[in-house]
Structure 1
Amino acid sequence: MGFLTPWFLGGLALLAVPLLIHLTRRDRATPVPFPSLMFVRRVPQPSTARHRLRDLPLLLLRALALALLAFAFARPLLDRARAAVAAPVGGRELVLLLDRSASMASPDRWSRAQAAARRALDAIGPRDRVTVVYFDGAPTVAAPAGNMVAARTAVDTARAGAGSTRYAPALALASRLLANSALPRREAQVISDFQRAGWRDAPEARLPAGASLTWVDVGGDAAPDVGVVGVDLRREEGANGATVLHVAARLVTNGGAARTVPVSLAIGGRATRSVRANVTPGQPAIVTFDSIPLPAGWSTAAVSVPSDAHPANDRHHFVAAREQALRVLLVDGPSRREDAGLYLRRALGVGASSPFRVDVVNRDALRAGDLAGHGLVVLHDAPLRGAVGRALAEHVRNGAGLLVALGETSAPEAWEPALGALLPGAPGPVVDRTEAGGARLASTERGHPVFAPFADTHSGDLTAPRVLRRRGLRLASDAQVLARFDDGAPALAERAEGQGRVVVWTSTLDDWWTDVALQPVFVPFVHQLAAHTARYAPSPASYVVGQSVDPARLPGLTGSEWVAQAPSGRRVRLGGAGAASVLALDEAGVHQLRATSAAPGSGIPLAANADAAESDVARIEPAAMAAAVVDSARTGAQAAIAPPIETRAEREARQGFWWWFLAGALLLLAGETLLSNRRAPIAR
């Protein structure tokens, strides 16, 4: 027998009340008037009645009624689960999986999860072992087996974060821990809200033979919630060369009635725009703000809604910069055709917010100083010699990209040796395929970044362009061929040199030797070529918590060693000996990343938010997850799905003993009333 609210048992002290009443009660003599008392002797009246109990049945009825009332308010229950666990049937290996994802950040939900974890630890017997594991996107062993002090500390200090829910990796870790245990009973217990978005059936998540899965579902009915799940940004050139930013935010709500909520936009921590949005359950809402002028450099911003039961999606952080474009230097060769680089220049400039800024120069007018600030140099049938060729070779080694299109003037002897040594192969003689109807691409590296966008059906036919003339390419030993023609000759090859990259296309990128510039695939193909060659990956407006970022691939960030500061103020060193090479974004908010040699406050900001899937309230039944994890057919019929772990409150609500205690107290009070009325002295 246990009690849900044992402090009400303090009401048993009220049993002293009827006892005091009975002990202090005294009988009073009824005065009888006489004409004269002069001949009557005064006789003292004994007062011993206050020192002994009278009407013992009435006292017992009153005391028992008060005791039953105290027991009713203490909410008694039969704690069979704890008694069963404590039974000496052999040791138990328990892996306690505590969900700390963003969907668990509701204070009520998290407090229930911690209370359930503490109950699980209270039930650990002297022969048992427990391992506490936190999980969100990835699991972490917070307390190893055999250390109860560490286990209780891990539960007490745990906090819900902003990570995504992923059950399979956590169950896979539990499976490995249980498989290594020699104890006769093995159990994994999941404490979670059981979001459907986080469940993926995976073979590695199966528990070993003989192991069981229990669970504590702390989800319950989802409270109405409005969340910001994303923003769309569009830059636009304003007057006098200024850049303005247009922001559109996406809102979702999971329940309740349709309503209007305020939505605010803050730039640099200061609210600048505010609108009201109509949100309807099950229908995403789009909120647009007035355009905002962007200052130079990076700007941090956030779209927020009023705080509610699910705080993880009440604020969406993002960053924006006025200039993130890749500067491209397009070098035209001495062609007889006017504006030979027209197609390339137009292709790189397509789009209202093209990521490329193209400067065009003729080969004969190119100077070494023109290379500065350009992350990509395109030599369109423009071989270089002399000092400018050597300067370009050094520019590539320092991290720039070089894209070369071979053409009529790109003979082997036309190249500066220092620059020609960087190419993935030595240019050969011209090959004319006109009489055969032209060559076509026959094989490409579909998984390569240049060709990945064309892997899906209807994404563009790279075999459509015809190449009437091309140059041969004698490949270097460390060159990688990305595409070949139908005769097996290299069409596209690349080679890394220092911190830069060189890519060679063995024909022209116009309508002179090929019709590739006239095909629909030309623009996306050129964009992929330019971005890959320059290693260009512009920082997105925001990341998802749990993603990793390689500082070496971020534009505008220099150096080889960096310092990252999380929103909480925690600092991490990256690069160098003994340090991580990538930054794990494990907190929601704005992270600051800079080179160790740079001054504090410089560098670039990186915004991270909880996964939009954490706002999805759809749930998976824990029993369905258990049925997938505990596969009796695979494990030899030894495994079993254990019943869910009830909380003591759930167990007490199901048993309902307090009704019987209250009913008994009411009956006794009714009986006490009848008995006291019968025994009351009758006034004469």
Structure 2
Amino acid sequence: MGFLAGAFAIAGAVGASIPLIIHLLNRERARRLVFSTIRFIQMSHQTNVQRHRLKRLLLLLMRILMLLLLGFAFARPFFAQDPATAPELGGVRNAVIILDTSYSMQYEGVFERAKKEAINRLDGLDSADAAALILSADKVRQVLPLETEHSHIRTVIENAETTNYTTDYLDAIQTADEILKGISIGQKQIFLVGDLQKSGWENFLETDRLSPDVDIEFVNIGEEQPNNQAITDINVPPVVLIEQKDTELVARVHNFSTERIENLNVNLYIDERKADTMEVDIEPEDSTDAAFNLQVDLQSESAHTGWVEIEDDALEIDNRYYFTVQSMQSIKVHCVNGEKKRSDIDDETFFLTRALKDVGDEGAPIDYTESVTIPSEAALQRYDVLILANVKQFSTVEAERIKTFVNSGGGLIITLGDQIDSSVYQQHFGGADNPLLPCTLMQAVGDPIGKPEFKVIASVDYKHPIFVPFSNPNHGDFGKGRFYRYYQTAATADATAIASYDDGNPALLEKVYGNGRVLCYTSSIDREWNDLPIHGVFLPFLHESVKYLALKQAGKVPDYRVGDALEYIGSRDGAGKEVAVFNPDKKETRLELNEQGNLYFGATQNPGIYSVHRSGETTHYDVVNVDTAESDITPRDPEELTSLLVGSTEADRTPTEITPEVRQEYREDVEKNQGISMYLLLAVFALAVGEMFLANRV
């Protein structure tokens, strides 16, 4: 036993002698006189005298105990081990076990070995040792705090399962270090049980070392010579048109082993049916492409899902790669004519209409319609591209309708002219944090009447998909068109000028808006401000612009990975309506669309095909794949990792010392936790009550 304030214990012992001294001083010795006549009375009263004497002795004992216990209570007693062997001062370990649950641990037999090694480390601890557990992957982490009850940790380890996420050892090790920082004294140990693959250490910096008093042991349970192949990427056109009869899908297959792979079967599945198969040979640590003829039903406009897979190996999760493709019979284009004329030749869309309706044998099929008003929201959903041709004005509601159309994936072409009121466009489409317009409209310059001067398109980005077909000689010259009048504009920060006049002013600007894109043509689409429509480059330029917007947006497939939130873009009229989301296991989740008619679904723990079903609407599909950076399971050297985390010399380590301050802190903590003083005070109180009761009867 120890005391935090030993002087009070001494004072209590001294005080306990006071009742005894008083008792001895007050004791009187009576003279014995024998009277024969009272011996019978003495014999009858002897029993009462003995009982009275016993009560007085008991009362004396209670008073002695009261003073003694009171002194001990103020002395703050405690029972503790020697500091050199105390668990809190290094006599036992505080261990954190990190168990890797990333998908590379699904390699045949690896995770079962990992769980056994983790349990062995747990069993190696004494009963007084404290342990914590971290189940680690990229985006999933379960943490059990430090405790001396190991059975719960054992149960969690035995029931642990791998995830489909990648490895992030940095997050797990930093979490373990934070747990051990809460221990002011004692041995601190981290056990990392995993395959130690290289990709899990890419985020480490020199400053990410462990605390100086923390040790780490790496338990490498990975294969020395892993044999793994994976499909790392797929190149598939997001949209297939009728005229694209020989569309190619290319799957990239990588061999992560050190041996050559021959006659590896690669299979293509479309709409859950096997469509094609081929064999490939792959050199060690190399990739090869498997090219398939994409055969989908072009007679109907619908979304198709599929996957490419290779034959099973020791790690199966990365053997399949999912994709979606949209089949289209035609590109649906709607134009709002801002300057309708009785005479066709003078009409704003005269040349535009004829260019888009004349697709020839090589061009993409275009379903062209026209109106003089902005279509309704329901009508807009049927179109792939909307053209605003010299439209003078529109209401706030119509402007919001157009923004929603583009944000949900539609393509928008804005052409300017003499009907344009720049203030209207700036009010509805510009000036915000994320304006729809790719530029600020300043002023129209030039003279389209006298035509004394003109500008030409002198700068074109031939790497842009619209202009790639014109990059070779004799494939179209934009410099032949004369521009007598155009709008001076200033591109916004997130917009790009992909064609410019010879004075540097933009001729064509592009901006990404939500899931859609906007093109702004700064002159007119007819011959009123320029003569480009009469040149041969005009028709293919319009076709490429429409095709770029339609195919770029209609087939813009997000590259979702396991754990990413899926985004469903709807319309405002669907706000609050219920949809059903099915995961790859066909498990249904019912959710409500938000006030914009959109939906975010985050439960994507498994790779595969996810579908969103809404009454009266076509089914929406998204695919989720694993991150194949995890497929390379080549490990890092444990010695190299130890040097990375704890330093290479003993000078980098700081041993734990039991200083007088640490000893005192330990004693105070033990006394506080045991609370013996409180029990002693309660005993004093009980004795005081008993003493008062007994004293009244003596």
TM-score (norm. length: structure 1): 0.59
CA distance in 2, matches of 1:619, 1:172: 20
Contact 2:296 2:327 in 1 (8 A): no
Pairwise mapping of residues 74-93 of structure 1 onto structure 2 (< 5 A)?
89-93=90-94
1:309 CA drift (Å): 1.4
- Out of 423, 428, 435, the position equivalent to 1:422 is 428
- Out of 386, 389, 410, the residue aligned to residue 380 of structure 1 is 389
Give the superposition deviation at 1:191: 1.4
Partner of residue 146, structure 2: 145
Q: Distance in 2 between matches of 1:169 and 1:393?
A: 46
> By how many angstroms is 1:115 displaced?
0.8
Other-structure match for 2:12? none
Give the 3 Å change call, closer, same or farther, for CA 267–213 of structure 1 in structure 2.
same
Residue among 578, 601, 606 paired with 2:622: 606
Is residue 304 of structure 2 the alignment partner of residue 285 of structure 1?
Answer: no
TM-aligned CA deviation for residue 249 of structure 1: 2.7
Deviations 1:231-262 (A, max 9, x none): 332478687x7977643332233244442233
Which residue of 2 is the match for residue 160 of structure 1? 162
Deviations 1:309-348 (CA, angstroms, capped at 9, x unpaired): 12222333333332499844344554958865499979xx
Instruction: Sort the Cα spacing of 1:93 and 1:367 in 2 relative to 1 into closer, same or farther, 3 A.
Output: closer
SS in 1 for 2:269: strand
Q: What is the alpha-carbon distance in structure 2 between the residues aligned to residue 489 and residue 319 of structure 1? A: 36
Partner of 2:322: 317
Cα separation, 1, equivalents of 2:512 and 2:107: 52
Rounded to whole Å, the distance in 1 between the matches of 2:239 and 2:519 is 32
Does the Cα contact within 8 Å between 1:95 and 1:130 map onto a contact in 2?
A: yes
Question: Cα deviation per residue 1:69-119 (whole Å; 9 max; x = unaligned)?
Answer: xxxxxxxxxxxxxxx999993343333222222221123111111111111
TM-aligned CA distance change 1:283 to 1:237, over 3 Å: same
Please state how far the C-alpha of 1:538 moved relative to its aligned partner: 2.1
For the Cα contact (< 8 Å) 1:422–1:502, is it kept in 2?
Answer: no
Q: Which residue of 2 aligns with 1:99?
A: 100
Equivalent position SS for 2:115: helix
* 3-state DSSP of counterpart to 2:642: helix
How far does residue 604 in structure 1 lie from its aligned partner after superposition?
A: 2.7
Q: Which amino acid aligns with 2:161?
A: R
From 187, 200, 203, give the equivalent of 2:202: 200
Q: Give the match for residue 637 of structure 1.
A: 652
Alignment partners' CA distance in 2, 1:507 and 1:163: 51
In structure 2, relative to structure 1, the CA distance for the partners of 1:594 and 1:134 (3 Å cut) is farther
Change (3 A) 1:159 1:294: farther
What is the rounded CA distance, in whole Å, between the counterparts of 1:174 and 1:580 in structure 2? 36
Q: Tell whether the 8 Å contact from 1:224 to 1:309 is kept in structure 2 after alignment.
A: yes
CA positional deviation for 1:194: 1.7
Superposition pairs of residues 497-508 of structure 1, within 5 angstroms: none
Q: Distance in 2 between matches of 1:606 and 1:213?
A: 42
**Letter of the structure 2 residue corresponding to residue 410 of structure 1:** Q
Structure 2 vs 1, CA of residues 175 and 289 (structure 1 numbering), >3 Å: closer, same or farther? same
Partner residue of 1:624? 640
Q: Is the 8 A contact 2:237 2:249 kept in 1?
A: yes
CA pair 126-229 structure 1, distance change in 2 beyond 3 A: same
Counterpart check, 1:593 vs 2:594: no
- Per-residue deviation at 1:216? 0.5
Paired positions, count: 518
Q: 1:539 aligns with which of 534, 557, 560?
A: 557
Task: Within 5 Å, give how 1:108-507 maps onto structure 2.
Answer: 108-146=109-147, 148-203=150-205, 205-234=208-237, 246-253=248-255, 254-294=257-297, 296=300, 297-323=302-328, 327-331=332-336, 334=339, 341=352, 360=368, 371=380, 373-374=382-383, 376-383=385-392, 392-393=398-399, 395-396=401-402, 399-400=405-406, 403=412, 405=414, 407-412=416-421, 422-424=428-430, 429-432=443-446, 470-471=486-487
Secondary structure at 2:284 match in 1: coil
Q: Is the 8 A contact 1:112 1:218 kept in 2?
A: yes
Q: What amino acid sits opposite 2:641 in the alignment?
A: M
Aligned AA (1:148): H
Alignment of 1:504-519 (within 5 A): none
CA distance in 1, matches of 2:260, 2:328: 43
Question: 2:199 & 2:143 partners in 1: Cα distance?
Answer: 24
Determine the C-alpha separation between the residues in 2 that align with 1:488 and 1:353. Answer: 31
From 548, 568, 573, the equivalent of 1:551 is 568
- Give the deviation of 1:627 after TM superposition: 2.1
Q: Secondary structure at the match of 1:308?
A: coil
RMSD: 5.8
> 1:266, 1:200 → 2: CA distance?
35
Amino acid at match of 2:200: G
| Partner Cα distance (1:100, 1:133) in 2 | 10
Q: Give a deviation string over 1:218-243, Cα, whole Å, max 9, x none.
A: 1132343343333332478687x797
> Contact 1:242/1:294 (CA < 8 Å) preserved in 2?
no
Tell me the CA shift for residue 576 of structure 1.
Answer: 6.4
| SS of 2:227 mapped into structure 1 | coil
Match of 1:619, as an amino acid? Answer: P
- 8 Å CA contact 1:97–1:132 kept in 2: the answer is yes
| SS in structure 2 of the partner of residue 319 of structure 1 | strand
User: Does the aligned pair in 1 maintain the 2:381–2:405 contact within 8 Å?
Assistant: no
Amino acid at match of 1:122: D
Separation in structure 2 between the aligned mates of residue 492 and residue 236 of structure 1, nearest angstrom: 24
Identity %: 18
**C-alpha displacement at 1:140, in angstroms?**
0.7
User: CA deviation digits over 1:36-95, x for unaligned, max 9?
Assistant: xxxxxxxxxxxxxxxxxxxxxxxxxxxxxxxxxxxxxxxxxxxxxxxx999993343333
8 A contact 2:338–2:419 mirrored in 1: no
Q: Which runs of 5+ in 1 are unaligned?
A: 1-83, 442-449, 452-463, 641-684
Alignment CA distance shift 1:380-1:338 (3 Å): closer
Larger Rg: 2
Q: Taking structure 1 as reference, are residues 118 and 134 closer, same or farther at Cα in structure 2, changes over 3 Å only?
A: same
Question: What displacement does 1:391 show?
Answer: 8.1
Corresponding residue of 2:26: none
Structure 1 residues 342, 153: closer, same or farther in 2, change over 3 A? farther
Whole-Å separation in 1 of the counterparts to 2:631 and 2:371:
56
Residue 144 of structure 1 aligns with an amino acid whose one-letter code is P
Q: Displacement of 1:132 after TM fit?
A: 2.0
TM-score (norm 2): 0.58
1:246 and 1:310, CA in 2 relative to 1: closer, same or farther beyond 3 A?
same
**Partner Cα distance (2:212, 2:570) in 1:** 46
Mapped contact 1:175–1:206 kept (Cα < 8 A): no
2:238 and 2:324 in contact (8 A); partners too: no
Decide whether aligned partners of structure 1 residues 247 and 604 sit closer, same or farther in structure 2, where only a CA change above 3 A counts: same
TM-aligned CA distance change 1:526 to 1:168, over 3 Å: farther
Letter in 1 for 2:101: R
With 500-509 and 313-322 compared, the bigger mean Cα shift is at 500-509
Unaligned runs of 5+ in 2: 1-84, 340-344, 432-439, 459-463, 466-478, 656-698
Measure the CA separation in 1 of the matches of 2:290 and 2:387: 41
Residues 525 and 627 (structure 1 numbering): CA distance in 2 closer, same or farther, change over 3 Å? farther
Structure 2 letter corresponding to 1:184: G
The whole-number CA distance in structure 2 between the counterparts of 1:125 and 1:300 is: 55
2:581 to 553, 564, 573: 564
Q: How far apart, in 1, do the equivalents of 2:482 and 2:167 lie?
A: 49
Q: Any idea what SS the aligned residue of 1:311 has?
A: coil
Distance 1:283 1:490, change over 3 A: closer
The 3-state SS of whatever aligns with 1:93 is strand
Change (3 A) 1:344 1:383: farther
Change (3 A) 1:292 1:365: same
Letter paired with 1:120: R
In structure 2, relative to structure 1, the CA distance for the partners of 1:342 and 1:583 (3 Å cut) is farther
